[in-house]
Amino acid sequence: MWETVAQAVINGLLIGGIYALVSIGVTLIFGVVKIVNFAQGEFVMIGMYLSFYLATQFGIDPIVSLVVTMPALFVVGVLVQHFLIRRVLGPNDMPQIFLTFALSLLLLNLALMLFSANYRTVHTSYSDEAFHLGGLYIPVAKLIAFVVAMILSGALWVFLHTTDLGKAMRAASQNRDVATLMGINPNRVFCVALGIALALAGAAGSLLMPFYSAYPFVGQVFVLMAFVAVVLGTLGNVVGALIASLMMGIAESLGIQYVGADSGQIVVFAMLLLTLAFKPNGLGGGRVR
Amino acid sequence: MDKASKWSVAAVAALAVVVLILPLVVKSSFAIDIFVRILLFSFIGVAWNLMGGYAKQLSLGHAAYFGLGAYTSTILQIDYGISPWIGMIAGGVVAALASLPIGWLCFRLRGPYFTIATIATAQALMLIFLKFRDFAWGAEGTTIPNLGNAPLMMQFEAKSAYYYVALGLLAIGLAITYLIEKSWMGYYLVAIGEDEDAAEAIGVNAPSMKRNIYMISAFLTALAGTFYIQYIYFIDPPTAFSFNISIEAALVAIVGGIGTLWGPVIGTILLETASTLLQSWLGSSIGGLQLTVYSLILMAVILWRPTGLMGMIGEVYHRLASRRQARA
Amino acid sequence: MKKDRQPSVTRSENAVRKLLPEAQSRRKFLLKAGGAVAAGAFGAVPMRGWAADPVNIGALYPTTGSMAQIGVGCVAAAKLAVDMVNEAGGIKSLGGAKLNLIISDVQSDTTVTRTETDRLISGNKLSAIHGCFASALTLIASQVAERAKVPLITGSSSDQLNKGLSYTFTPFARASQFAQAQLQMAKLVGDKPKVAVIFENTAFGTSTSNGLKELAPGEGVEIVMFEPYSAGFTDASPLINKVKASGANALFSVSYLNDLILIVRTVKQVGLDIAINGGSGGFVIPDFYKNVGKLAEGLQGVAHWNHDMDDNAQKVNVEYKKRTGYFLFEYAGGLVAQTFMLADALERAGSADPQKVREALSTLDVSSGYAAMAPGGKVKFGPDGKNVYGRPVGVQWQNGDLASIFPKEFARAPMIKS
């Protein structure tokens, strides 16, 4: 019995790491730029396809391909901010929401056009292997993904709290006007925020490749969970998103185990709605940390 | 009545005549289908616009009410033999009642939180209907029994009949919007939309207003749900609570001009026409091409004309009016 | 108006000729007509110079959206089938009239299916339709076809398709029959099978799994776990964890492709020694093997059609492989047979009128030729549109291809014990 619970918790934790990478990106963008990026899942998808082609054309292991996907998507993030998002920043949030939504639709269908709906899989030597500890099993690929996700999250936290640019970003997220008065260029800060967020999405994509298949709609599968995590952890709160993601992964896993295999999402939604009923700003309390 | 008002009344009257005789003149079943879609989605957009356009409560979960309306009337029809006309009203009532607890939960939140919460509620409803097979056929859904031509049960052999029903719904939606717009409720809603805190400060009862407009919006959306299921003869949770419906409701209003009477109608006409044209030119030759172009159009509108088409028309009108004034 | 009129002239007419006895002069005639047809393909130029008006057959498949891979494969099969019928002389009782395939994309979406079916029917004089792969889509198309009085023939397995519809014909096994076959196959692997059943919670999964639940006791199979799950999950581990905890020694998964891939891989990761029967759907298509690789070897499934059933099916398979690069999978092969069934009905009806075609279909009774490519080799429709001889065939992945292994009469290769 204990074995089952422990295994469920491990499963949830590991997938929670991936949710974390996606949700941290979303929450960072919201915290700094104050918009919700509905297209985040599609950037994960792009990361996956990029890794797929690097793996099949050059034989580069997906995890190693991080060093390509992350910078590539960072650049994409800067471009998206500079040419698209900048134009709809304003008091009205509707154009912003619909812009990123349209972007999501665009990327998804471009992928469909260019790559067709077929699933792309990469098999590495460790793809289907697992560590066995007692009666528990820990899939190798997922463990690596989790560890890298935690490292990247930690690196982001350090960046936000120790570097000047990071502090500038936090300042801009707390109060854009005052930050501008203090000489911080908002657009530059936003570009960096977008860049980092998309780089994290790309990382998620690369980390997913060994054990997940790439197809145009794959982003949609992860983005919903990521969004719930963002809200749960308070929009803009990076640490909150991380913790919420891990919690959600575990809750989903336990929900599937003990409530019903189709109830994973319901349990998570229940968590969300209950939390919002009593803590409308999420568990994090509304600060960007 | 001054000249401008006379022109607009004449224009509306002419439009009404055209719209009324359209199905009699146009015989193509394909074209009538497009018109029905345009009318229906204009109506859904108008219903959404009450909340999202005037009061600026950006809900992306209106499919919840669409689905509730659809399921209510279908259950009443198949299990109890009650006509969908009555079922439609019942569905509206169910939806309006449902908007109360959902509203209580969601209105505690502001901005994007509100939006995400609405998405979550619609999704949660879909999951619930998928899971519980006993009262609503679960995942498999059900078809509407073929009754041939049965106007009392909202089934018509003539396609044009559906056109007129949809037209009727749209007319009701527009009428309600117009009445609200011109009433004190309309002004309060716009105030809430502009700045809720400021509105409350001057004495507007925001929670009560939001609750009321949400109920009306939900009621109307549910009517559309019933009609839609009667039109496509099939219901299942993914269809009834489709996220696409939530999106389209907001989209047509935004593209056409939120917070305006005719915005959703114009938005629907533009998007549906574009969609149909794209489908016939590009079709299924390359998967994804049509939606790619569609989303590019969307992005273009959002980037360059966020006030929507009505905003564009408004600008043109003002430019012409000011030129006339300068000359006078 | 969007039409996708396919010219009857094929790129690979040589290969088609190998399938059927063929006169050279007909080929030359078709080549000349090909030019005119190409011009007519855009609907502007009326086609003249034909011996008889072509007979329009509608095909509704999801060539975009989540089911696109299968939809595209189906369309390729539909074109091949029409080419085959036309090369053999078309419909002789209609003066050699050629079949004209009009394809419509239903975008893997229920609402689009409604519109497209309607548009297809009202925009063309159709004699019959076939489609749409997914049961939920076919259900809608069948409703529209019923009201428009156009016959619809389909391989979709939902039992709902045979309820109260007189214009829908299903020549292949029903979902409930798949269930029985799966249960019987479980006994092939072990004496006292303890089965865990997981299924995706929409129409496809629910109808098949219900059949499993009802029939299990009768077949002497114990179901130790019976769980619907939400398709498109991020991780199969929780689900497989539950399967492991249930103590099952066989796993029946009624799923679409993406979930199947994850399920199979996760079972391997867990080191769970369990026999997997992937049912139908995404399990029996080439893409499954492409993504899962060697892990698929030895896995069993059920299909309503397989390409090794008889010589005719193998011939079609060879041709299809040439055109597409992969083997002729279940749904695609089934619809080739369906096209020939329609041709047979048209011959006997002597008319392109949909209601007459429907009459002729209802009295269909074939046991040879391409129209009879079905497990059991016979097709005859009962009053509810079901094929009274319809049975599924148990298949197994062997060397990257699907071999029929069950029941004994249908087995074309020995079962591999894994």
How would DSSP label each residue in B98-153?
HHHHHHHHHTTS-HHHHHHHHHHHHHHHHHHHHH-HHHH-GGG-EEPP--SSBGGG
Decide if pLDDT at C225 tops 50: yes
- The domain tally of chain B equals 1
| pLDDT for position C336 | 94
Buried b (16+ CB within 10 A) or exposed e, B121-150: bbbbbbbebbbeeeebbbbbbbbbeeeeee
Structure tokens at B176: 């309600």
User: Of C374, C380, C410, whose CA–CA distance to C395 is shortest?
Assistant: C410
| pLDDT for position B328 | 57
Chains touching B by CB (3 or more pairs below 8 Å): A, C
Most A CBs within 10 A among C72, C133, C201, C235, hence the mutation to make, goes to C235
Kindly report the nearest CA distance between residue C393 and chain B, in angstroms.
Answer: 24
B200 domain residue, yes or no: yes
| pLDDT for position A158 | 92
C49 domain residue, yes or no: yes
- Given A116, A211, A220, which is nearest C265 (Cβ)? A211
Q: Does B285 touch chain A (CB under 8 A)?
A: no
What would the pLDDT profile of A66-109 be if each residue is shown by its tens digit?
A: 999 999 999 999 999 998 888 888 777 777 877 888 899 899 88
Same domain, C168 and C179: no
Choose between C380 and A183: higher pLDDT.
C380
- Given C1, C68, C143, which is nearest B143 (Cβ)? C143
B284 domain residue, yes or no: yes
B10 domain residue, yes or no: no
Q: Centre a 10 Å sphere on the Cβ of residue B316 and count the other Cβ atoms it contains.
A: 10
Nearest CA in chain A to C198: A261
Instruction: Give the β-pairing of C152-153 and C168-169.
Output: parallel
B228 domain residue, yes or no: yes
Task: Enumerate the residues of chain A whose CB falls inside 8 A of the CB of residue B112.
Answer: 30, 36, 93, 97, 235
What would the pLDDT profile of A14-70 be if each residue is shown by its tens digit?
A: 999 999 999 999 999 988 888 888 899 999 999 999 999 999 999 888 889 999 999
Sign for the CA dihedral angle at C139, C144, C147, C148 comes to negative
| pLDDT for position B285 | 55
* Contact residues, A window 7-66, toward C, CB-based 8 Å cutoff: 7-8, 11-12, 14-15, 18-19
Residues A99 and A107: their CA atoms lie apart, in Å, by 12
Kindly report the nearest CA distance between residue B53 and chain C, in angstroms.
Answer: 26
Amino acid sitting at position C99: L
Task: Enumerate the residues of chain A whose CB falls inside 8 A of the CB of residue B294.
Answer: 105
Confidence at C87, pLDDT banded by 50, 70, 90: very high
What would the pLDDT profile of C282-298 be if each residue is shown by its tens digit?
A: 788 888 888 888 888 88
- % chain B with pLDDT above 90: 29
B17 domain residue, yes or no: no
C8 domain residue, yes or no: no
Residue B113 · residue A231 · CB < 8 Å: yes
In this complex, do A4 and C69 lie within 8 Å of one another by their Cβ atoms? no
| pLDDT for position C164 | 84
Distance of CA C22 to the CA centre of its chain: 28
Same domain, C131 and C183: no
C4 domain residue, yes or no: no
- Given C68, C241, C287, which is nearest A7 (Cβ)? C241
Overall average pLDDT of the C12-21 stretch: 42
Confidence at B58, pLDDT banded by 50, 70, 90: confident
Task: Enumerate the residues of chain B whose CB falls inside 8 A of the CB of residue A282.
Answer: 113
Decide if pLDDT at B283 tops 80: no
* Contact residues, B window 39-58, toward A, CB-based 8 Å cutoff: 56, 58
The CATH number for C64's domain is 3.40.50.2300
C7 domain residue, yes or no: no
Choose between C324 and B147: higher pLDDT.
C324
Overall average pLDDT of the B202-226 stretch: 92
Residues B25 and B31: their CA atoms lie apart, in Å, by 11
| pLDDT for position B1 | 53
C140 domain residue, yes or no: yes
What would the pLDDT profile of B161-189 be if each residue is shown by its tens digit?
A: 899 999 999 999 999 999 999 998 888 88
What would the pLDDT profile of C230-280 be if each residue is shown by its tens digit?
A: 877 778 888 888 888 888 889 998 888 878 888 998 888 888 888 888 877
Same domain, C373 and C286: no
Residue A105 · residue A214 · CB < 8 Å: no
Q: Name, in order, each residue with C-beta under 8 angstroms of B74's C-beta and a sequence gap of 6 or more.
A: B84, B87, B142, B144, B226, B229, B235
Nearest CA in chain A to C68: A117
Overall average pLDDT of the A197-223 stretch: 90
Q: Which residues pair with A131 in a beta bridge?
A: A138
- % chain C with pLDDT above 70: 87
| pLDDT for position B38 | 93
Domain that holds residue C343: 13-173+310-387
Chains touching C by CB (3 or more pairs below 8 Å): A, B
Question: What average pLDDT does chain B have?
Answer: 85
DSSP codes of every residue in C123-189? HS-EEEEEE-SSHHHHHHHHHHHHHHT--EE-----GGGGSS-SSEEB-S--HHHHHHHHHHHHHHH
In this complex, do C136 and B236 lie within 8 Å of one another by their Cβ atoms? yes
SS3 assignment, position A60: coil
Question: What average pLDDT does chain A have?
Answer: 86
Pick from B58-72, C170-184, C191-205, C281-295 the range whose average pLDDT is largest: B58-72
Confidence at A194, pLDDT banded by 50, 70, 90: very high
Confidence at C40, pLDDT banded by 50, 70, 90: very low
- The domain tally of chain C equals 2
Confidence at B326, pLDDT banded by 50, 70, 90: low
Overall average pLDDT of the C104-126 stretch: 84
In this complex, do C261 and A18 lie within 8 Å of one another by their Cβ atoms? no
Structure tokens at C359: 């009459």
Q: Does C65 touch chain A (CB under 8 A)?
A: yes
Kindly report the nearest CA distance between residue C256 and chain B, in angstroms.
Answer: 15
What would the pLDDT profile of C44-83 be if each residue is shown by its tens digit?
A: 444 444 457 889 999 999 887 778 778 889 999 999 999 9
Task: Enumerate the residues of chain B whose CB falls inside 8 A of the CB of residue C105.
Answer: 283-284
Kindly report the nearest CA distance between residue C379 and chain B, in angstroms.
Answer: 27
Structure tokens at C358: 């429907």
In this complex, do A101 and B247 lie within 8 Å of one another by their Cβ atoms? yes
B156 domain residue, yes or no: yes
Domain that holds residue B89: 28-327
Q: Name, in order, each residue with C-beta under 8 angstroms of B221's C-beta and a sequence gap of 6 or more.
A: B44, B47, B48, B62, B65, B66, B69, B95, B249
Same domain, C404 and C286: yes
Decide if pLDDT at C3 tops 60: no
Choose between A251 and B136: higher pLDDT.
A251
Decide if pLDDT at A222 tops 70: yes
DSSP category for residue C2: -
Most A CBs within 10 A among B48, B255, B290, B292, hence the mutation to make, goes to B292
In this complex, do B124 and A109 lie within 8 Å of one another by their Cβ atoms? no
Taking the model in full, what pTM does it have?
Answer: 0.80
C5 domain residue, yes or no: no
Task: Enumerate the residues of chain B whose CB falls inside 8 A of the CB of residue C144.
Answer: 233
Residues A144 and A30: their CA atoms lie apart, in Å, by 28
What would the pLDDT profile of B70-116 be if each residue is shown by its tens digit?
A: 999 999 998 898 899 999 999 999 999 999 999 988 888 777 778 87
C3 domain residue, yes or no: no
Size of interface B-C (CB pairs under 8 A): 100
In this complex, do C233 and A221 lie within 8 Å of one another by their Cβ atoms? yes
| pLDDT for position C317 | 94
Overall average pLDDT of the C190-216 stretch: 83
Same domain, C230 and C328: no
Confidence at A284, pLDDT banded by 50, 70, 90: low
Kindly report the nearest CA distance between residue A277 and chain B, in angstroms.
Answer: 6
C6 domain residue, yes or no: no
DSSP category for residue A210: T
Choose between B182 and C29: higher pLDDT.
B182
In this complex, do B30 and C110 lie within 8 Å of one another by their Cβ atoms? no
Residues A265 and A227: their CA atoms lie apart, in Å, by 13
Kindly report the nearest CA distance between residue B232 and chain C, in angstroms.
Answer: 6
Same domain, C149 and C236: no
| pLDDT for position C333 | 93
